[in-house]
Amino acid sequence: MRLIILISLALLASCAATGPAFTEKPAHRSDMVKVYIFRTHSRAEARSASIEIDGDKIGNLRERGYLESEIAPGKHAIESKWWFDAGVSNSQFVGDFVAGKEYFLRLYVDFLGYNTVATGMASMPVAVSGRFATGIILLDKEHALPLIRDTRLSK
């Protein structure tokens, strides 16, 4: 029994991001936009979500991981896509992005009814699939930094 528990813990740990710890890096060019997409611990299936910007994949976002991208200013759609058997709905954030600014987007996945997604933040766009709620949430830098500092680059 003890061996099963140890193997299970090792498998779950292997689903987390393992790249370098988060460090803030401003956009290389002032005419571009810096976007950070991150995922803190979730209770959902410990799988990665494919992240796309305007239909182009930028990477797989693992649990406790982040991705970064520089994009042109303007309107963009950022979408998470999950494995068909993860029990989690895809979600999308569409917004107008301004040159020279940083944006912090949190991919949120949790059990329904246990956290603020399903209770205290009803105005937030949330997709519901089975027993999970998911969404991509825009956070201001002040609220994002304490969360994203505990993440690692997803590869």
Percent residues over pLDDT 90 in the chain: 47
Worst-scoring range by mean pLDDT, 20-34, 73-87, 101-115, 125-139?
125-139
Given CA atoms 66, 71, 73, 74 in this order, what sign does their dihedral have? negative
Return d(Cα 22, Cα 4) in angstroms, integer.
32
Q: Which two tokens stand for residue 91?
A: 């979600």
Strand pairing class (102-111; 33-39): parallel
Tell me the mean pLDDT in the region 103-121: 63
Q: What is the pLDDT of residues 56-70, one digit of tens each?
A: 999 999 989 999 999
Return d(Cα 2, Cα 104) in angstroms, integer.
40
pTM greater than the 0.85 cutoff: no
Q: Greater confidence, 115 or 31?
A: 31
97, 74 Cβ separation under 8 angstroms: yes
For the chain, count helices (H), then strands (E).
2, 10
- Sorting pLDDT into bands at 50, 70 and 90, what band is 96? very high
Q: In the block, which residue shows the tokens 């991919």?
A: 107
Residue 108 is predicted with a pLDDT of 83
Nearest Cα residue to 62 out of 23, 107, 24, 104: 107
